[in-house]
Structure formats: structure tokens, C-alpha cells
Amino acid sequence: MNSNSKSALVAGAGGFIGGHMIAKLIEQNYSTIIAVDIKPMKEWYQSFSEVDNEVLDLKSLESCKKAIRGGVHEVYNLAADMGGMGFIENNKALCMLSSLINTHLLMASCESKVDRYFYASSACVYAADKQLSPDNPGLKESDAYPAMPEDGYGWEKLFSERMCRHFLEDYGIKTRMARYHNVYGPEGTWDGGREKAPAAICRKVIEAKLSGKHEIEIWGDGKQTRSFMYIDDCIKGTQMLLNSDISDPINIGSDEMVTINELVDIVEEIADIRLSRKYNLNAPKGVRGRSSDNTLIESLFNWSPKISLKEGLEKTYKWIYDQIEK
């Protein structure tokens, strides 16, 4: 295949979404791919010898300038200090410090005349009073204001969205922003406290099955609702948005909403097991109801996620099972 003349920097390349993005850019034959993460390379979820790998702390402006190396066509800012509810509820200052990454990466991108800049925002920007019911009708883009986002992590994301918007207005850099809704899949965090619900539930079910202790702890009452988007859909939607003319933040997520109890049901079915459930009402549990309203992305792009929750969880379960069995 012919080489693609495009060049890209992926910030957060050692993370879950970043690793999958690098794999996609390699598949698309980008001529130059710069992969940057703060973690030592042995801790990256995926690493590829055919790209330029750098270990840098992008909270520093100098590191951002070094990473961009005088200019690339595209920047994917997927870097953040984050995790599931257990992490973001207990590390608010750390989450807020990620705003330095976006600020300095935007400054370095402008200086180097980067053409397109993608920022990974989150459904955590949405106002808390829109998420009080498990029967959430879906969060539409306008629901972010008046602002009352998730404390810490959500405020950082909302502030960084504004920064992207103003850099577009003031300096002309083509910033694009996606509000991701609970991305999951293989090659990501599945234990240690930063994992999100799909990976955590898969791990707990697998451990219960292997140990013979057929019980599972669920955070909260299990009636809280979420939607989850498989990683392949996330990557597809991200590149589609980056190459578009849409500069306002847009949902990239699934509108297939389930309760946490239903999520456990699906994973139990995959594992062919039934577990007794213990509910920890004191554990971090987040908002009562959160799902993506995809009206805008469907109207603009005629696009919606293609991989069902059951199909995505089957792939995720198999991968996590293999990690535990290693």
C-alpha cells in the first residue's frame, strides 16, 4: 500500500484509546506517527516499534513543543489523568491538572501551525441535574449548560472545551471535540482501581468463576443507568469528526442504555454463570442516569455506533480472561 503523506501526534498513546488510535493510524499508513505518554513504555497498553515513541510529561509546554517537533498535520489529545468512578471521585486535583496538557498542547500546536486538533472530552461535562433519574432520556449537547459538571474531572473537560473553542476563534486552529460516553474494550485498564464498569464487571465475574466463590459486589444499588461504546466505534467516530467541519462539541457514544444490573446480566450470560449479588451502597457510584442522545451526530453524519453491547462485551470478556489466565 502507498504511504499516506499525513503526520499525526497522539497524546496519551500509552493509554486505552490512544493505543487503539495508533494502531488505526498505522493501518492507514500515516507517514509519521508520534506516540507520547507520561508512563514508562513498559506500562503502555499497546506499543508499536514502527512509530516514534516518546515518554514525556505533556503538562509542560516545553514537552509539548518537543513532542510536536516543528509540526504535524493532526494532533489527537487523548491524554488525561483519569479512571472509573472510584478514581475520579477521589482524585479531583489530579484530574484538574490535565487542563495543563490541553492548554500547552494547543499553544504548541498553534506555534507549529498544526492543521487539525482533536480533544477528547467526556459525558462528565453534563449538568448533574440532567442525570438525577435512571430513566435518563439521553444527554443532548445543549445539556452541558448552565454548567454543573462532574466535580473535578468534568470541570476540567468543560474548561478544556472552552479553551479549544477560543483557540479556534482567536488563532484559527481547527479544533474538534468529542464528548465520549464510557468507552470500553480490550487493551485497556481492567484492574487496579482506574478501570471502568464494563472491565470491572468482566473481571469480577471471571474471578468469581475461576475461584468457585459465586458472588459479586456491585457498587450502588445496580439500578443506575449508563450507555457504553465499544472502542472500534469510538475510533471511527473520532476520525470522522476530526475530518469534518463541525467545531462544536458532539456526543460520540451509544444510546443503548442499560442498568448496571443488566450489564452484570449480560456478562453472566457470556460467562455461563449466575452469581449472588452484594450491593455496596457506600461505594462511588456517580450519577443515577447517563446515556448519549445521538440525534445531532446522526443528523450531521448519518452515523451511529455499530457494535452492540453484547458483542463488545464478548470481545472484552475474552481479552480480560486471557490477561487473568496469563
The residues annotated as belonging to the active site are 153
124 CB-contact burial (10 Å; exposed 0-12 / middle 13-18 / buried 19+): buried
Which residue in the block uniquely carries the three cell numbers 513498559? 42
C-alpha to C-alpha distances, 44 to 91, 183, 258, 316, nearest whole angstrom:
21, 18, 31, 18
Report the C-alpha gap between 243 and 265 in whole angstroms: 38
- Would you tell me how many other CB atoms lie within 10 Å of the CB of residue 214? 12
**Which sign does the torsion angle of CA 131, 137, 139, 140 carry?**
negative
How far is C-alpha 8 from the geometric centre of its chain's CA atoms?
A: 19
What does each C-alpha distance from 264 to 71, 215, 260 come to in angstroms?
46, 12, 6
In angstroms, the CA 74 to CA 90 distance is 33
B/e letters for 171-208, b = 16+ CB within 10 Å, e = fewer, are eebbbbbbbbbbbbbbbbbbeeebbbbbbbbbbbbbeb
